[in-house]
Structure 1
């Protein structure tokens, strides 16, 4: 949790009303962008603010928004809903060399409520990340290569799973969203690049060229 992040002031009733408005709109909602306070607050833990049917509808909607973006994860605050809920899925086709270097394997769809993670012993690799709420930019972020995730499934059952490689990165990124943390808070800011510059210069499997040319993580 960010030391600067404060808990949301949304009441359970207001969260419920916000979700109902989004579901009733009949269109895919716009993804909230950096600068909106909802992204800098600790979202409310899920404790029954939504009924089973509404929760299922919201998860389906979030999955559709994630696919359209496209992205590999989406947290409820990114739709203006300060609730500890996120959806994750990575089924993109990736170059085999890139996948091998980044430890990227397909991640089947799942939704998680009230997640928290603990780093596991091992390496802390740095790779470029982007975010659907920070349009047009990417930056290198060092993250634990493996984590233990504790969370609830939508049916209320508690789960504990270990994630490694790129899956661990996705899990951490989305869990951070629910605690008022953006990936830029953890990034090497000298690595910051536009999507166009990333595609033109820095999209190699690892970050060695970018770190040398842009001058970040020089001591590693």
Structure 2
């Protein structure tokens, strides 16, 4: 599946100005919601548009916004900043059965700049996802089970890491944000549920019941 998001037209000076405005406000910024064009453009690669201090403060701020939401990832465009920066962390207590089915293990905090991912192997799995920029909706998304992530650390060090299970899903979701892609672009449209319906009907560890009753994705056990 391909997407044709356009590169942001923000200049380096305009990006720095936007970051300085957010950092100087003294409050946690709101998370940008779907419909805002910043979420539909390819963010600018990070190429030193910010000072080291500004970059560090922005990452700290993004982590605070992510925690308050609460969520497991946040991309800079979700704060209205079209830069390829995202923060990720998953330390939530999860039911052991859910964790086992979804391959969900704690993900220590890290920030990634200019990330790219490549699927590893041929296995893809579908689970429900939500997004801090699409309030009130959940949908099943089929994603590669394992990926290789290439990115830069905030100090500029080039990194390569492998992720599997729910960690791989978080990595893909946040990297997509930096390229103008929202999870609904990849979702099974017939699976879309509001939060109340999801909680009441589809919050099982896997999607088998939702898949059957809502009529999306073939049963992988069928011939």
Q: Indicate whether the TM-score tops 0.5.
A: yes
**Other-structure match for 2:216:** 216
Task: Specify the SS of the correspondent of 1:205.
Answer: coil
Aligned-residue offset at 1:2: 5.0
CA RMSD of aligned residues (A): 0.9
The answer to whether 1:56 aligns with 2:56 is: yes
- The unaligned stretches of length 5 or more in structure 2 are none
Which whole-Å CA distance do the structure 2 matches of 1:87 and 1:195 have between them? Answer: 24
The residue that corresponds to 1:146 in the other structure is 146
Alignment size in residue pairs? 220
Q: Distance in 2 between matches of 1:3 and 1:75?
A: 18
Residues 113 and 152, structure 1, Cα contact 8 Å, conserved in 2: yes
CA contact (8 A) 2:102 2:165 kept: yes
> What TM-score does the superposition give when structure 2 sets the normalisation length?
0.97
In 2, the alpha carbon distance for the partners of 1:179 and 1:83 equals: 10
Measure how far apart 1:123 and its partner are. Answer: 1.3
Q: What is the CA–CA distance in structure 1 between the aligned matches of 2:142 and 2:63, rounded to whole Å?
A: 27
1:186 Cα deviation from its structure 2 partner: 0.3
Specify the SS of the correspondent of 2:159: strand
Q: Secondary structure at the match of 2:97?
A: helix
- Structure 1: 5+ residue stretches without partners: none
In structure 2, the partner of 1:4 is: 4
Superposed CA offset, 1:37-62 (max 9, x none): 00000000000000100000000000
3-state DSSP of counterpart to 2:124: coil
Q: 1:98-122: CA deviations, max 9, x gaps? A: 0000000000000000000000004
Tell whether the 8 Å contact from 2:3 to 2:181 is kept in structure 1 after alignment. no
**Residue equivalent to 1:85:** 85
Post-superposition, which runs of at least 4 consecutive aligned residues in structure 1 deviate over 3 A? none
Deviations 1:56-107 (A, max 9, x none): 0000000000000000000000000000000000000000000000000000
